[in-house]
Structure 1
Amino acid sequence: MTHATRPIQTDVAIIGAGTAGMAAYRAALRHTERVILIESHVYGTTCARVGCMPSKLLIAAADVAHSARHAGRFGVNVPRIDIDGRAVMARVRSERDRFVGFVVDTVEQWPAAHRWQGHARFVDTQTLAVDGPAGTRCLHAERIVIATGSRPAVPPAWRADLGDRLIVNDDVFSWTDLPGSVAVVGTGVVGLELAQALHRLGVRVRLFGRGSRIGPLTHPALQELACGVFGGELPLTLGVQDLQPRREGDAVALRSVLSHGRVEEERFEFLLAATGRLPNVDSLGLENTALPLDPQGVPVFDHRTGQVGDSVVFMAGDAADDRPLLHEAADEGRIAGDNAGRWPDVRQRPRRAPLAVVFSEPQMALVGATHAELVASGADFEIGEVSFADQGRSRVMDRNQGALQVYAQRGSGRLLGAEMLGPAAEHLGHLLAWSVQRGDTVQQMLDSPFYHPVVEEGLRTALRDAQHKLLLPAPLPEVCLECAT
């Protein structure tokens, strides 16, 4: 591109054609036909290609294997469990490709003039240089939506030292067979889900974590319970102070130094890094704009409008480094695209109640405000609790692990949030999220029907516990009698 190149003009440019970018495109199109969607890689969302859907396909196979392996507890004897790794991965890839195909078909039905292939970078706040197959084109947009997604965060030294023995979750779903062993580093959602699934499919796995936490639960009692439950099934090493992987032929030797000074070393075929994600904003040329950036270089934006400062740029999806979930990305894309399309009539849009689910077994769910957030905010609340150890339907299914906590506001009795480790958390989480969003009180929830025998009866027990505590007098503040006059 030269200074003499005449920029192509458009009303709205959207950088990224993932979940957020596609939602932004549809929303902006309601206001103007002059919309250009720019994608630097392949069409197909993170969810469909390397995230939600392929991981659930792998987990589904793992759950079947686990159920068959433990069928004897029900008096059903399965003489031999034979896991065909090639067949498992063939189904994962086939169904994954089917889901991706739906997304690609949708995008390719949009007008060709609206779809640009190439990497976009800011020349200034409203001008983009797009490096594509046919060279570099210059685009001037009245408004711009950044929806560039995120990527796995991996220590650069690991990539240099381990080569193809280092993998991320994206790589797992390209396998044609299951490996013999994998070290999984990172005890967050991705690490836990993949480690447990691979373990149940017969892969030798060890899950490593620097801290003492497993998954996103914030209440100390639930975290302790999670560590006990998953540590009872998975080979698990927590409190790693230093992790030193090195390549030895076609294997990875992993040396870990623990908090008490003990040193352990084990060999694996692969090291799977599940060490977080980075927003894809570092190669956008944001330094050429006047946009406000946070210390990590991510534009600072209003979560209710998507607008970056008072500029004509909007943020959406994982690039915003906010709530990395598909439904949140779709909502953010819709909000950002709508406001970019209707500019300068920028409108605040309400956000849905937070809801996050971990598809481990037992599952986890976080709804509304977490325990940590409520404590940090100084909220006055009570905790209603239930254990699933003796909950009727859970015992019937032999899935009686975990616990549920509901957080209710003192005075109003309104449900503020909940955290859960247990069976059917993906379903109970939805019921709880709907109640949080409506502003239901504990009494209103208890007035609703509960069938018998179902796992939801455990929720009723937790609500009854919260209601009992809410009706008790508030505890008096401690007073130093020696100081009283």
Structure 2
Amino acid sequence: MRERECDVAVIGAGSAGLAAYRAARDAGARPVLIERGPGGTTCARVGCMPSKLLIAAAEAAHAARTADLFGIRVAGVSIDGKAVLDRVRRERDRFVGSVLDGVEKIPAEDRVKGEARFLDSHSLEIDEQVRLRFGAAVIATGSSPIVPKPLKGLGDRLLTTDTLFEIPDLPESLAVLGLGAVGIEIAQAMARLGVRVTALDSGKTIAGLTEPGLVEEAAKLLAEEFTLHRGARVEGSERCGDSVRLHWRDRDGQRRSTDVASVLSAAGRAPNLAGLDLDATGLELDEEGLPDFDPRSLVCRGAPILIAGDANAWRPVLHEASRQGRIAGENAAALAHGRTPEAPEPWPSLAMVFTHPQAATIGEAYGEDEERIVVRTSFSDQGRARAEGVNRGGMCLWSAPDGRLLGGEMLGPAVEHLAQVVSNALRDGLTVQAMRDRPFYHPTLEEGLSTALSEMVQSVDDANSI
């Protein structure tokens, strides 16, 4: 057993882990990065980037099919599934390769390959070959797809985002279990690429949206492209030759079944904490084995250990993982050197779904709070949206009675840009009036946001004049 020492041990070389390593090093600590593999980050390898590559292909097919709106006649659209997936993998591998190149530039003495487990609150064992003593440690082990029990036993007919992009060709039919960001994106993309898609979810939300009007509109628009069942509970599944039969109950409790070529489990991802032997650290763990941690400092209660990125399941999106990694790395260096860790204010919550129309949630969650001022607007008559034939969906914003913007949800065109405008306004603490006084160029989709803000300014004035 080889003995080593470091100031900061970083477990995991994904987005959060790489950011933590660099932050600890820049803070003057001696970090060691422990890589289990496969590398390349969840985002580049199986998440953000390959899914957007698939969506790009689907959007191209959809644009060709719907060009008639503009007087453009397209004789026919043929989908070469093998070519589509080949490009997805080719471009995906470029993104992964750039990440791996960056890891290779880290000095060899700062990297250890293998699987780590805690021996106590200040030491790790890696593959029973290295014992590493540390001043502080950062857990950045990422997450893995959840496979619900009713789907187990389907063999290669069961897909997750870890395997979806490796299939050689598009399936003839696909059932998608889960209407969150991943499920709804893949369901629509596959449908636009000619796959017969059935999507099921037991919950009441779609694409992260919770405002009832937007949820209903999202369900209506998406159901135009594939079969969608809300309130559906999958109870079992079985292989039937080269296909799968799902057994489920609809929202009325009626038993139903669906036959498909493959099933995609999009029921979320769980933190990769098994095998770390966290019980040996003295940390306070919940029923799922997740440490009790401060979401601002990322320090766990009970030991000089921090947890960042998907591993803490707080905000499992890349920009949060990178920021959390930086905070965790700096604070781990501080703890290792006997300094007090920092606890910066969290960014406003921001999540996006890249369907068409796109969806986003920003800031404080929607709720039936009587004191909130809520404004709902539609994209149906928005000028730029009508010009481009994407005038569907709407947005909902809410503020405090004093005009402080609190949050919102959106379903529509260019939401990925509009949501960031709102998020930055929340970060800067702008009132609705101050935000409305910013310039909005004409004709842009951003004018739709300007319209919503104008209505909210009026609503705030009316509420305060009573």
CA distance in 2, matches of 1:139, 1:32: 19
C-alpha separation between the residues in 1 aligned to 2:150 and 2:231?
Answer: 21
Q: Indicate the SS of the match to 1:330.
A: helix
Please state how far the C-alpha of 1:255 moved relative to its aligned partner: 2.0
CA shift digits 1:375-430 (9 cap, x unpaired): 4xx5832112210111111111111111111111112x121111100100000011
Shift of 1:283: 1.7
1:390 equivalent to 2:381? Answer: yes
1:116 aligns with 2:112: yes
Offset, 1:234: 1.8
Counterpart code for 2:428: R
Q: Is the 8 A contact 1:293 1:300 kept in 2?
A: yes
Q: 1:381 to 1:475 in 2, by over 3 A?
A: farther
CA contact (8 A) 2:234 2:246 kept: no
Q: 1:211 to 1:128 in 2, by over 3 A?
A: same
What does the per-residue CA deviation read over 1:208-243, in whole Å, with 9 as the maximum and x for residues that have no partner? 111232121121121122111212222112221343
Correspondence for 1:141: 134
TM-score normalised over the length of structure 1 = 0.92
Partners in 2 of 1:62 and 1:151 — Cα distance? 26
Q: What's the counterpart of residue 381 of structure 1?
A: 372
Query: Given that residues 8 and 134 in structure 2 are in contact (C-alpha distance below 8 angstroms), is that contact kept between their aligned partners in structure 1?
Result: yes
Counterpart of 1:196 in structure 2 is 188
Q: Percent identity?
A: 46
- Taking structure 1 as reference, are residues 27 and 81 closer, same or farther at Cα in structure 2, changes over 3 Å only? same
The residue aligned with 1:13 is 9
Q: Give the one of 393, 404, 413 matched to 1:423.
A: 413
Alignment of 1:166-245 (within 5 A): 166-245=158-237
- Deviation, 1:157, is 5.4
SS class of match (2:311): helix
Is the Cα contact below 8 Å between 1:30 and 1:341 reproduced in 2?
no
What residue in structure 1 maps to residue 355 of structure 2? Answer: 360
Aligned ranges for residues 336-375 of structure 1 at < 5 Å? 336-343=328-335, 344-345=338-339, 346-372=341-367, 375=368
**Structure 2 residue identity aligned to 1:74:** F
Structure 1 letter corresponding to 2:383: G
Match of 2:55 among 27, 36, 59: 59
Residues 88 and 6 of structure 1: CA distance in aligned 2, closer, same or farther (over 3 Å) = closer
Residue number in structure 2 paired with 1:328 = 320
1:260 aligns with 2:256: no
- Separation of aligned partners in 2, 1:41 and 1:473: 56
In the alignment, is the contact (CA less than 8 A) between 1:153 and 1:278 conserved in 2? yes
**CA distance in structure 1 between the aligned counterparts of 2:405 and 2:157, rounded to whole angstroms:** 47
Pair member with larger Rg: 1
Q: Aligned residue for 1:403?
A: 394
Aligned residues: 463
* Residue ranges of structure 1 left out of the alignment (5+ in a row): 477-485
Residue 446 of structure 1: CA displacement? 1.6
Judged with a 3 Å threshold, the aligned counterparts in structure 2 of structure 1 residues 242 and 354 are, in CA distance, closer, same or farther, namely closer
Unaligned runs of 5+ in 2: none
Deviations 1:431-465 (A, max 9, x none): 11111111111111221112222111111111111
* Residue 263 (structure 1) shift: 2.8
The AA in structure 2 aligned to 1:428 is L
Q: Is the 8 A contact 2:284 2:302 kept in 1?
A: no
Q: Which amino acid aligns with 1:30?
A: D
Cα RMSD, aligned residues only: 1.6
- The SS at the match of 2:162 is helix
What's the offset of the Cα at 1:262?
2.8
Out of 135, 143, 146, the residue aligned to residue 153 of structure 1 is: 146
Which digits, 9 at most, give the CA deviation of each residue in 1:226-280, with x for residues without a partner? 1112122221122213432111122101122213233322211111000111111
3-state secondary structure, aligned to 1:41: coil
TM-score normalised by the chain length of structure 2 = 0.96
Over 4 Å off, 4+ runs = none
